[in-house]
Amino acid sequence: MKALAARRHDRRAPVVLLLLALLLTGGLYAVLAPTSAKAESSVASADDVKAGEKLFQANCATCHGPSAAGTASAPSLIGVGAAAVDFQVGTGRMPMQMNGPQAQVKPAQFDDEQISQLAAFVASLGAGPAIPTDDQVDPSKGDPATGMALFRTNCAMCHNAVGAGGALSRGKFAPNLWETSPRHLYEAMLTGPQSMPVFNDANITSEEKRDIIAFIDEQGNVSPGGLDLGSIGPVSEGLWAWVVGLGLLIGAAVWIGAKSS
Partner 1 sequence: MTTTSTPTPTARAAAATADYLDQRTGIGVAVKTFARKIFPDHWSFLLGEIALYSFVTLLISGVFLTMFFVPSMAETTYHGPWASLNGVEMSQAFSSTLRLSFEVRGGLLMRQVHHWAALIFMASIVTHMMRVFFTGAFRKPRELNWVVGFTLMILGLLAGFSGYSLPDDVLSGNGLRITDGVVKAIPIIGSYMSYFIFGGEFPGNDLIPRLFTVHILLVPALILALIGLHLLFVVLHKHTQYPGSGRSDKNVVGFPLFPIYVAKAGGYFFVVFGVIALMAATMTINPVWNYGPYDPSPVSAGAQPDWYMLFLEGSLRLMPGQAEVMLGQYTLSLNVIIPAMIVPGVLFTLLAAYPFIEAFATGDNREHHVLDRPRNRPFRTAFGVSLLVAFFILVLAGSNDLIATHFHLSINDITWVFRFLLFLGPWAAFVITKRICLGLQRKDRELVLHGHETGRIVRFASGEYIEVHKPLDAHERWLRVQHDAVRPVEIEPAEDSRGVRRKGYRTDRLRQRISQVFYEDRVEPVTPSELEAAHHAHGGHDEIGSHDHGHEPAQVGGGQHLVEPDGETGPDARNH
Is residue 105 close enough to count as binding ligand HEC by CB under 6 A?
A: yes
The residues binding partner 1 (CB under 8 A) are 101, 144-145, 147-149, 152-153, 156-162, 164-171, 173-174, 215, 218-219, 223-229, 231-242, 244-246, 248-250, 252-254, 256-261
Q: At what angle do helices 206-218 and 144-154 cross, to 10 degrees?
A: 100
- DSSP letter for each residue of 141-166: GS-HHHHHHHHHHHTHHHH-TTS--E
Is residue 196 close enough to count as binding ligand HEC by CB under 6 A?
A: yes
Looking at the DSSP bridge assignments, the partners of residue 173 are: 167
Please list, residue by residue across 246-255, b when 16 or more beta carbons sit within 10 angstroms of its beta carbon and e when fewer do. eeeeeeeeee
Tell me how many degrees the CA angle 224-230-234 measures, rounded to the nearest 5: 85
Cα dihedral value 177, 136, 198, 233, nearest 10 = 30
Is residue 44 close enough to count as binding ligand HEC by CB under 6 A?
A: no
**Residue 45 or residue 109: which is nearer to ligand HEC going by CB?**
109
Selection from partner 1, ligand HEC, none that 223 binds (CB < 5 to 8 A by kind) is partner 1
Is residue 162 close enough to count as binding ligand HEC by CB under 6 A?
A: no
| Coil, strand or helix at 168 | coil
> Residue 223 CB, nearest distance to partner 1 (Å)?
6
**Contact predicate 160/166, CB 8 Å:** yes
**Residue 197 or residue 238: which is nearer to ligand HEC going by CB?**
197
φ/ψ of 191, rounded to 5, equals -110, -15
- Kindly report the number of other CB atoms within 10 A of residue 66's CB atom: 12
Is residue 188 close enough to count as binding ligand HEC by CB under 6 A?
A: yes
Is residue 96 close enough to count as binding ligand HEC by CB under 6 A?
A: yes
Is residue 71 close enough to count as binding ligand HEC by CB under 6 A?
A: no
> Residue 257 CB, nearest distance to partner 1 (Å)?
3
Instruction: Say which residues have a Cβ less than 8 Å from residue 108's Cβ, sequence separation at least 6.
Output: 89, 90, 91, 92, 115
Contact with ligand HEC (CB under 6 A): which of 22, 77, 137, 164?
77
Selection from ligand HEC, partner 1, none that 27 binds (CB < 5 to 8 A by kind) is none
Which residues in this chain contact ligand HEC in the complex, by CB under 6 A?
A: 59-60, 62-64, 73-75, 77, 80, 84-85, 88-89, 91, 93-96, 102-103, 105, 118, 154-155, 157-159, 168, 172, 174-175, 177, 180, 184-185, 188-189, 191, 193-197, 199, 204, 212
